[in-house]
Amino acid sequence: MVKESEVYHATIKEIPSALRPRERLLKEGPEILSDIELLAIMLRTGTRDISSIDLAAMILSKYDSLRNLLQVSIEEFSSIKGIGEAKAAQIKAALELGRRVAVTVSADRISIKSPEDAVSLVMEDMRHLDREHFVSLLLNVKNQVMAREIISIGTLNASSVHPRELFKPAIKRSAASVILVHNHPSGDPEPSREDIDITMRLIEAGEIIGIKVLDHLVIGDNKFVSLKAKGII
């Protein structure tokens, strides 16, 4: 059997058809393919000078892992030689589909009984983000997670987290309550004065609408703070 390292230095045409990523997927299933092979299939083609496999290997070498690709913008992808806007869009679409599937599976029928239960759903996704992400967990009357929604990305301030944007998906899904979550890229989860002010503003809005804000979790690097547990709310 040809070693993976040997395959990636050959062009697609030089690789025996049985060992090409697409053919292997069709014959043996996607689970046996490496990250590079899966990304190569997503890219479909390379360029005159580089195969799709080599291009995929170069991308993963540059960003270290598939998880890190989630943070790469379409503009940044497009700046890589061999990837235009079309390929960049394909990559982002596939990664987003994967993220949504992962969120759906991880949140399926999970019942939130403590801050730790909620943190377990978001910690690995949010602890290494380089920008602040404000997320809401939508819960039904049994405190089971129905969905996870990204409300805003960027510096957290009152204008970036408007009650309308928070409660719109909650109302659409008939959520009974929500848990607020946002990360601190510094790794320190200690809530700021603005974190607290925003929380109080959203709690008030929720009371008017009839959707309770159960907690606000601030995610750091493998640690967190629950505003409810600290007695702030």
* Average of per-residue pLDDT values in the chain: 85
How many structural domains does the chain have?
2
Residues 121 and 79 placed together within one structural domain of the fold: no
pLDDT tens per residue, range 100-133: 776 665 555 688 999 999 999 999 889 888 889 9
CA geometry: angle 225, 106, 24, nearest 5 deg: 135
Q: Last residue of a domain, which of 45, 70, 104?
A: 104
Q: Last residue of a domain, which of 104, 131, 159?
A: 104
Answer positive or negative: Cα dihedral of 43, 45, 50, 53: positive
pLDDT tens per residue, range 191-221: 999 999 999 999 999 999 999 999 999 999 9
Residues 119 and 76 placed together within one structural domain of the fold: no
Q: Assess whether pLDDT exceeds 90 at residue 33.
A: no
Residue 127 CB coordination number (10 Å) = 19
Residues 128 and 150 placed together within one structural domain of the fold: yes
Domain around 69: 4-104
Helices marked H in the chain: 4-7, 21-28, 35-43, 52-63, 66-69, 74-78, 85-107, 115-126, 163-172, 193-209
Residues 121 and 218 placed together within one structural domain of the fold: yes
Task: Tell me what pLDDT residue 217 has.
Answer: 97
Task: Tell me what pLDDT residue 2 has.
Answer: 39
Q: Last residue of a domain, which of 38, 72, 104?
A: 104
